[in-house]
Amino acid sequence: MEIWGLIRQRAEHYRDYTSSNLSEIVRIRSLSGEEREVIEKIKSLLESADFDEVKIDGLGNLIGRVGNGEKILAIDAHIDTVDTGDINQWEFDPFSGEIKDGFVLGRGSVDQKGGAASMITAGKILKELGYDGLFTVYFTFTIMEEDCDGMCWNYIIEKERLVPDFAILTEPTNLGIYRGHRGRMEIELYFRGISAHASAPERGDNAIYKASRAALEIEKLNYRLRNDDFLGKGSVVATLIESKSPSLCAIPDHCRIHLDRRLTWGETRESAIEEVREVIGNEAVIEVPIYNRASYKGTLYKQEKYFPTWKIPEDHYLVKVASQAYELLFQEVPRIGKWTFSTNGVAICGKHGIPTIGFGPGNEVYAHAPNEKIPIDHLVKASAFYALMPYILEETID
């Protein structure tokens, strides 16, 4: 039997194993910065699957290794999740991990513990097949992505010195092959005024009014931003405004606006700041905030909240190999696309230039939404895809 047929057969054989593992890790709450318990659980699963090496790095990411080849393929899943939101909008317990009607239910099943469960099975399959080829395959279960996408991989590359030749992100793609997404950044605008008694507002300088006029200019700016045929249009939107004053009967002397800026191809940190400066003039101090939250291990790895845009060409070698693997396994042509949201690709490819694709189980419409659930069929197919990729890469690499 061809290797792709054998892998597909084994992935199907492990259907219940994969869904059961996902059910177990969905039952463990793992908000950003609170991932210790789920990391320890996945670590035990990797050890039981006989991975060649299993370790937790200095930040708290879990890294499992299969093989010892000269080239490196990294397959990544972040295992932190967002919170549940309004619990009354859920039709089931978000942390039940219930397996029902061909789905695994619960928070994180799609975004993105489903990818993690499929990775565990893929590693198990590679071990059972005795994979010992050109690639070392690192399965990374990363933390704090929901809080600061890419920071975990900046740590892996810059501190752990683990630099892949290729990377696969297992964020949900509905089993399409994705090759990029818009970048993003956060921008803070700080406005200063002069306080005075609210009974005589003409004596002061109202920081809220300054900020409000600026917010209207930001709204207009949004419609003028650059567009890319593949990634789509850049965007900017005010998502928070808050003020300070000596009291509620005083003119506010400080006001802050928080901007969410999505960056399409060709837009950069510098160009985005300059566009804002042009429309608001000298009315505010403009800053890009710094992420400085410690991980569950107490490690602090600061970074600016700028997350570069990335994409690779549709005719890139990695896209072609992924398409070949997909067609062998599933006997159809894959859908090539992009994410609407941001991923760890902002660091792996956007900052460090490592060729990266996405292939993940689940539909992204369930990400961060109530009633999150993932098809078990997707988990099985993703397991097979991840296990086959090092073989196909090895056969076709220059």
Q: What is the pLDDT of residues 377-395, one digit of tens each?
A: 999 999 999 999 999 999 8
The domains spanning 3-181+309-396 and 183-291 adopt the same CATH topology: no
pLDDT tens-place string over residues 161-210? 999 999 999 999 999 999 999 999 999 999 999 999 999 999 999 999 99
Q: What is the DSSP letter of 349?
A: I
Q: What pLDDT sits at residue 2?
A: 93
Point out the catalytic residue in the list 57, 76, 80, 186.
80
The structure tokens listed for 37 are 């318990």
Stretch 44-63: mean pLDDT: 98
Q: Based on the residue annotation, tell me whether 80 is a catalytic residue of this protein.
A: yes
Q: What pLDDT sits at residue 189?
A: 98
Q: Ramachandran region of residue 243, left (φ > 0), alpha (ψ -120 to 50) or beta?
A: beta
Stretch 324-352: mean pLDDT: 97
Place 398 in a pLDDT band, splitting at 50, 70 and 90: low
Q: Based on the residue annotation, tell me whether 145 is a catalytic residue of this protein.
A: yes
> Domain limits of the chain?
3-181+309-396, 183-291
Stretch 298-327: mean pLDDT: 97
Q: Cα(390)–Cα(368) distance, rounded to whole angstroms?
A: 31
C-alpha distance from residue 216 to each of 223, 241, 272 (Å): 12, 13, 17
Q: What pLDDT sits at residue 188?
A: 98
Fold (topology level) of 183-291: Alpha-Beta Plaits (3.30.70)
CB atoms closer than 10 angstroms to residue 240: 10
Place 320 in a pLDDT band, splitting at 50, 70 and 90: very high
pLDDT tens-place string over residues 228-270? 999 999 999 999 999 999 999 999 999 999 999 999 999 999 9
**pTM listed for this prediction:** 0.95
For the sheet with 103-105, list strands across it.
99-100, 103-105, 373-375
SS3 of 175-212: the string is CCEECEECEEEEEEEEEECECCECCCHHHCECHHHHHH
Cα–chain center distance at 348: 11
Write down the CATH number for the domain with range 3-181+309-396. Answer: 3.40.630.10
pLDDT at 278 > cutoff 70: yes
| Phi and psi, residue 372, nearest 5° | -65, 135
Stretch 272-281: mean pLDDT: 96
Give the rounded percent of residues in the chain with a pLDDT score beyond 90: 98
pLDDT tens-place string over residues 107-133? 999 999 999 999 999 999 999 999 999
pLDDT averaged over the chain? 97
Helical H segments across the chain, by residue range: 3-13, 15-26, 36-48, 114-128, 151-158, 207-222, 269-280, 317-330, 345, 376-396
Give just the sign of the alpha carbon dihedral 340, 343, 346, 352.
negative
Cis check for the bond before 112: say yes or no (omega within 30 of 0).
yes
Point out the catalytic residue in the list 35, 57, 111, 145.
145
Buried b (16+ CB within 10 A) or exposed e, 329-353: beeeebebbbbeebbbbbbbbbbbe
